[in-house]
């Protein structure tokens, strides 16, 4: 399977558009959104299948079901205006939706004594498209700051370097070794950089602001894995 065709011969992108309806967009704007959505599907669908295959014990039918749910949810968010492609990348958004759906599927696996059959998955728990869109915006804001592409963050080159090291999961002692300073000094520099990042994120509208601040707070608390590391270091 090349990521474009399913067993029925109809692509996920086409089925997602059919399920999503016309939404709030019409005319040229709608055509542009469809084109952007199809382009994103072509780029990312192979990844969604690999991602779900790994978590579904290599069961292709389950992976295809979950990938279809991901793209249906993504198109619904795009077509209704919940997700704005001008505010965050489609890649970030789709990755976030896929991870949320995967968590819901894992919960459902645990609940069922037998493996679920194709097409019987309930709606994933906790999938709030508005929150997914806000999370994608927050993650892209953080990434932009780490690249030095967020002038409003007012981060120095040294502070950006510190945040990049934190995003890789370095603790205070490892950070100190990289910077050539005492652990207490490394911690102080880390917190100062994170406070600046938080101040920048605080300018964003809610709920993007709230999610971005949670990312910064967790990084400041020394979380070394999970959504903080994924968010800061390029995962979704």
pLDDT, tens digit only, all 236 positions of the chain: 333 333 333 555 555 545 444 455 555 677 888 888 999 999 999 999 999 988 777 778 888 999 999 999 999 999 899 998 888 888 999 999 998 888 887 776 666 655 555 444 455 556 888 888 888 888 888 888 888 887 777 889 999 999 888 888 888 899 999 999 999 999 999 988 888 888 887 776 666 666 666 666 665 555 443 443 444 444 43
Q: Which two tokens stand for residue 64?
A: 């295809």
Locate the domains of the chain by residue range. Answer: 12-127, 139-233
- Cα separation, 102 vs 104, whole angstroms: 5
Q: First-to-last CA distance in the chain? A: 24
Rg (alpha carbons) of the chain, rounded to whole number: 20
Provide the H-helix boundaries in 86-156.
Answer: 90-111, 129-147
Q: Which of 93, 123, 96, 92 is nearest to 107 (CA)?
A: 123
Measure Cα distances from 205 to 25, 81, 89, 119, 184 in Å.
Answer: 23, 16, 17, 38, 34
Q: What is the CB-side half-sphere exposure of residue 105 using CA atoms within 13 A?
A: 28
Decide: pTM greater than 0.75.
Answer: no
In this prediction, residue 223 carries a pLDDT of 47
Distance CA 108, CA 101 (A): 10
Burial class (CB in 10 A: 0-12, 13-18, 19+), 223: middle
Q: How far apart are CA 142 and CA 159, in angstroms?
A: 13
């Amino acid at each position: 399977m090349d990521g474009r065709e399913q067993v029925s011969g109809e692509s996920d992108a086409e089925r997602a558009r059919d399920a999503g309806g016309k939404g709030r967009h019409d005319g040229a704007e709608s055509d542009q959104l469809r084109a952007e959505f199809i382009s994103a599907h072509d780029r990312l669908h192979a990844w969604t299948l690999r991602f779900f295959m790994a978590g579904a014990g290599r069961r292709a039918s389950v992976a295809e079901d979950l990938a279809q749910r991901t793209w249906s949810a993504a198109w619904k968010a795009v077509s209704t205006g919940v997700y704005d492609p001008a505010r965050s990348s489609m890649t970030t958004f789709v990755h976030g939706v896929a991870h949320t759906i995967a968590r819901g599927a894992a919960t459902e696996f645990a609940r069922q004594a037998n493996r679920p059959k194709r097409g019987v998955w309930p709606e994933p728990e906790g999938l709030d498209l508005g929150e997914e869109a806000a999370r994608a915006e927050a993650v892209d804001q953080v990434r932009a700051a780490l690249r030095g592409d967020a002038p409003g963050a007012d981060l120095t080159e040294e502070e950006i370097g510190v945040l990049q090291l934190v995003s890789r999961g370095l603790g205070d002692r490892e950070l100190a070794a990289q910077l050539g300073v005492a652990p207490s000094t490394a911690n102080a520099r880390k917190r100062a950089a994170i406070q600046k990042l938080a101040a920048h994120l605080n300018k964003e509208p809610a709920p993007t602001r709230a999610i971005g601040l949670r990312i910064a707070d967790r990084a400041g608390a020394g979380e070394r894995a999970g959504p903080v590391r994924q968010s800061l270091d390029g995962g979704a």
